[in-house]
Structure 1
Amino acid sequence: MNRKDISSYLQPLKIKGLNEMQQATLEAYSRHDDIMLLSDTGSGKTLAYLLPIVQSLQDIAGTQAMIVAPSRELAQQIETVFRQMQTGYKITCCYGGHKREIEENNLLEAPAVIVGTPGRLGDHIRRGNIEVNGISMLLLDEFDKTLESGFTEEVKFIAESLKNVQKRMLVSATESADIPEFIRLKHPAIINFLSAEKEENKLLLHYVHTDDKDKIDTLYRLLCLIGNRAAIIFCNHRDAVKRVSDHLKERGILNVYYHGAMEQTDRDSALAKFRNGSVNFLVTTDIASRGLDIANIRYIVHYHLPATEEVFTHRNGRTARMDASGSVVLMKGPDENIPAYIETAITELQLPEECKLPPKPDWVTLFMPLGKKDKVNKIDIVGFLLQKANLKKEDVGLIEVKDFHSFFAIRRAKTKSVFHLLKDERIKNKKAKISIAK
């Protein structure tokens, strides 16, 4: 494995070199058949395992590697990083929530790498859409989550279907329970880069006390204090997510909500708005505690106290990533206590009685019902906005292009003129049909 080859993959990602964990993973992969990689959230695990996988791919027809992820968002993120590496190899992403026929078409010419969620991958294997005999590499990302109740049987079926696997790798941000025998992990090399705890000056712990059992008024006051800094509000149940989000909107707090039962387009829209800064508050279940790569999250709010220390750790892993700092706020109800597993110093946060609504963000997210399948890419959208809407580069924010639709942020002040100028415009010979993202 030579450095020239590695640098050719790093250059498109604008990464100058590997960190210690990534280098250790490369070296271990060249020496061992079975590997367990444990490293903190945000430390670069995806690149750490994609590099040796790519280095091991042969210029032959057929699928050679399968990556299993517990959520569609993590699977999509892995696919995105792989494509950005510009390897020359084909990858296909398989997950529930959109038409299986799309993936079946993509699988007709077998990709070198398949990434997906356990249920959808198992379905394709049963239907014969995936030729398993050539798959020699199996990777389970967030394996502790993947092996939780509801996924175990599908992962077992996948593992037992892949008869010719020679390399197995399990990846996680936490030390996990026993590994099931069906994974067939034999004397794995353990690469453990988990930090004992985050530096105190990077992750600050606070709590707010509320006499109100539903906590909504206290949350309102807390978000007014947080202002325009990005925050994720974690709830324990889906119905609570929608209820909390609606209450906040009624009181003038701009936010989006996100949980596993939503339609894929609605999930894409919520995450796009939060990523690009069109909204600063995301109300969600623990589905957002893993796999989402969103930068610059300043606050984690535990609206409902986490049930376990592992849940607490994963939620907090969304902030204070890499060299950034972050704050965690636990909302303690009248009959609740700070969990005993929290041994780090935690201080009470005093909320002001007088509240001022956070200002509206400078960005607005627009939706276009055209995407990759329409041959539309980010460069096309930038050119379209600069030429047809008379925008400057600084007026265009984050752009996300999905298979059949796209989201892009523009300056809020430009919204009216953009709609007027783009009303009848076309992109790639198709009517753009721009609208505000729902």
Structure 2
Amino acid sequence: MTDNDACPLFADLGLPEEIVDKLAQNGVTNPFPIQAATIPDALAGRDVLGCGRTGSGKTLAFGLPLLTRAAEQRAASRRPRGLVLVPTRELAHQVRDALRPYAQILGARVGDVVGGSSYTRQINELRRGVEVLVATPGRLSDLIEQGAVELDAVELSVLDEADQMCDMGFMPQVSELLDQVQPGGQTLLFSATLDGDVDKLVRRYMNEPRTHSVDPPVSQVATMEHHLLKVLPRDKNKITTLIAAREGRTILFVRSKYRADTISEQLVNAGVPAASLHGGKTQSVRTKTLAKFREGRIQALVATDVAARGIHVDGIDMVVNVDLPTGHKDYLHRGGRTARAGESGLVVSLVAPNQRRTARRLLGDAGVDAKQHLVNPGDELLAELTGAREPSWEPWIEPPEPERPRRGRGGPRGRRNGYGGPRGDRRPYRDRDDRRPFREDRGERGGRDFGRDRRDDDRGGRRFDGERRPFREDRGERGGRDFGRDRRDDDRGGRRFEGDRREGGRRFDGERRPFREDRGARRDDRRGGGRPSYRGDREGFSAQRG
């Protein structure tokens, strides 16, 4: 069944009133076509098959019904009630972040399980319990083998970007995971295409699904333009730099991690704020790079196909295929990063003379009618089509990240609050008579003596057997360890420092332990026995070493 009728308001789709109010607070009242078509069927418990391009609003189309169903009952430890499978870490984080504001309204918990992140954090989150789990197939399979999560309580399963999961080789893992969910549960599948392995998933795991194909593919988006730029190999790097230096956010796609790092470094050296994104970087670095791109701290993102699916960044008005993709599906998904949610966008592919036939076949398979141009660096046509301009040609230095308050009890060490207190929110007890005195006043009070002029007071200092402990300069007149220079000849306890220090030392059986230069003469001593003799005085020892 195909449904192209759009519902005018979210309030008419059967969603909870709290969700509708939250959407209205965010300025969202009219659903996208895919949302208007699929949400009523999903809320009614039917299996739904949604076919549409990326950026068409599919996350809320499956997310809002999923949260509504999952919030009906509290999830047990390690047993989520709703599952969302996605192909990449970035898409998992995007789905999680998009659902959490609405989950809080309903009292539901949303967790994520992805590769490249801490096992401990994810296991602890699952142990506490989550109603909805967003996961990549690989990490979820690992945690199931460890006994950290079970899927037998999952009543609603969602496959997002199902065609990419099949293209990436996740078909066996996805099938294994779906075999473990609750039998007879509801399944929602969203994909840009419905061919190949996706059709196998539909026939095996979906029961009379309601099919909704309401958004045109990338090739048919009216607000998107496609251009094929024919360039000479010697000019390709410079043209890439000129395009990346344009105003606005630009994603440049390449075929390998090495190419991403190399071109990113080339742009930075030319003065273009840029960074690379690929699967060879840690998850924390990838997350920070995307955050900088979203915030506008970098204007050009050089990426492999890891960024071609599911990543939504507002304001991307150009996608550049520096290297041609391997297939027409990759071309469509790369182009899907622009012209999202009704915005306009431009897709530009750089083609060398020996790649023209391959490019024409690729665009034909994708159903794209691209305009072809022959350009050289500095051409007015290049600037007119892409907004290319000369960069500064001075290396760009990334400014330091703004300091963020450190977490921890009491705040950062040494930081003072607005009341002048040393930490936290403590106020000085100025209005209390029994307050603890400040340091400059403590000499006039009992307890430990901090006042220089109160040293002779018999109340200050710590007491030992009725009298205070003396200050260091006075301890030579008392027992204990001798610190007084004028008391070195005293025979009382403690380590001795009498005379010249060579004759001092610790005593053993009534006589001192000799210093090193004298130990040769003490070989028969109980402590010195077995030690090598230094034979003589210091001069002899030095001569022997020489």
- Following superposition of structure 1 onto structure 2, how do residues 84-95 of structure 1 map, counting pairs within 5 Å? 84-85=101-102, 86=104, 87-95=106-114
**Runs of 4+ more than 6 Å apart:** 358-361, 425-429
**1:369/1:164 CA distance change after superposition, 3 Å:** farther
Q: Is the 8 A contact 2:52 2:217 kept in 1?
A: no
Deviation at 1:218, TM superposition (A): 2.5
2:214 — aligned with what? Answer: 193
1:98 counterpart = 2:117: yes
Change in Cα spacing, 1:263 to 1:237, as seen in structure 2 (3 Å) is same
1:278 and 1:365 in contact (8 A); partners too: no
Aligned residue among 401, 404, 413 for 1:366: 401
TM-score when normalising by structure 2: 0.63
Q: Does 1:76 align with 2:93?
A: yes
Question: Aligned residue for 2:259?
Answer: 240
Q: Matched residues in 2 for 1:367 and 1:427: separation?
A: 22
Task: Give, in angstroms, the shift of residue 157 of structure 1.
Answer: 2.0
How far, CA to CA, are the matches of 1:296 and 1:256 in structure 2? 17
Q: Does 2:221 correspond to 1:209? A: no
Query: Which amino acid letter does the alignment assign opposite residue 78 of structure 1?
Result: V
Say whether the 8 Å CA contact 1:303–1:330 is kept in structure 2.
Answer: yes
Instruction: Please identify, of 52-61 and 109-118, the stretch whose mean Cα deviation from structure 2 is larger.
Output: 52-61
**Counterpart in 2 of 1:146?**
165
CA contact 1:245–1:256 (8 Å) conserved in 2: yes
Amino acid of the structure 1 residue aligned with 2:73: D
Contact 1:13 1:84 in 2 (8 A): no
Residue 319 in 1 paired to residue 338 in 2? yes
Match of 2:279 in 1: 260
Percent identical = 26
SS in 2 for 1:67: strand
Equivalent residues in 2 for 1:23-102, closer than 5 Å: 23-31=36-44, 33-57=46-70, 58-62=72-76, 63-85=80-102, 86=104, 87-102=106-121
State the SS of the aligned residue for 1:43. Answer: coil
Match of 2:244 in 1: 223
Quick one: distance in 1 between partners of 2:111 and 2:89?
13
SS of the residue aligned with 1:318? Answer: coil
Kindly state the Cα deviation for residue 316 of structure 1 after the two structures are TM-superposed.
0.6
CA distance in 2, matches of 1:119, 1:374: 34
Give the Cα–Cα distance (whole angstroms) in 1 for the partners of residues 139 and 35 of structure 2: 29
Q: Distance in 1 between matches of 2:369 and 2:217?
A: 12
Structure 2 residues without counterparts, runs of 5 or longer: 1-13, 380-388, 427-546
Q: Cα distance, 1:73 vs. partner?
A: 0.9
Following superposition, the deviation at residue 162 of structure 1 comes to 1.6
3-state SS of paired residue (1:144): helix
Quote the Cα distance in structure 2 between the aligned partners of 1:75 and 1:428.
38
Give the 3 Å change call, closer, same or farther, for CA 214–66 of structure 1 in structure 2: farther
State the one-letter code of the partner of 1:29: A
Deviation at 1:107, TM superposition (A): 0.9
Judged with a 3 Å threshold, the aligned counterparts in structure 2 of structure 1 residues 374 and 46 are, in CA distance, closer, same or farther, namely farther
Query: Tell me, what secondary structure is at the counterpart of 1:180?
Result: helix
Deviation at 1:35, TM superposition (A): 1.6
Query: What residue is the counterpart of 2:540 in the other structure?
Result: none
Note if contact 2:49-2:211 (Cα within 8 Å) is conserved in structure 1: yes
Corresponding residue for residue 114 of structure 1: 133
2:390 aligned residue? 356
Is this contact kept in 1: 2:34–2:214, CA < 8 A? yes
* Contact 1:135–1:164 (CA under 8 A) maintained in structure 2: no
Q: Look up the equivalent residue of 2:66 and give its one-letter code.
A: I
Deviation of 1:200 after TM superposition, in Å, equals: 6.8
Alpha-carbon separation, structure 1, partners of 2:425 and 2:350 = 50
Distance apart, 1:172 and its partner CA: 1.8
Give the 3-state SS of the residue equivalent to 1:75 in structure 2.
helix
Change beyond 3 A, Cα 1:235–1:427:
farther
Q: Give the direction of change, closer, same or farther, for the CA distance of 1:32–1:59 in structure 2 (3 Å limit).
A: closer
Structure richer in strand, relative to its length: 1
Contact 1:300/1:328 (CA < 8 Å) preserved in 2?
yes
CA distance in 1, matches of 2:243, 2:52: 32
SS in 2 for 1:232: strand
The answer to whether the 8 Å contact 1:32/1:189 transfers is no
Q: What TM-score, normalized by structure 1, do the two folds share?
A: 0.78
Q: Which has the higher contact order (CA 8 A, sep 6+)?
A: 1
What 5-or-longer segments of structure 1 have no aligned partner? 389-424, 430-438
- Between the aligned partners of 2:375 and 2:58, the Cα distance in structure 1 is 38
Tell me if 1:344 matches 2:344.
no
Distance 2:408 2:325 in 1: 43
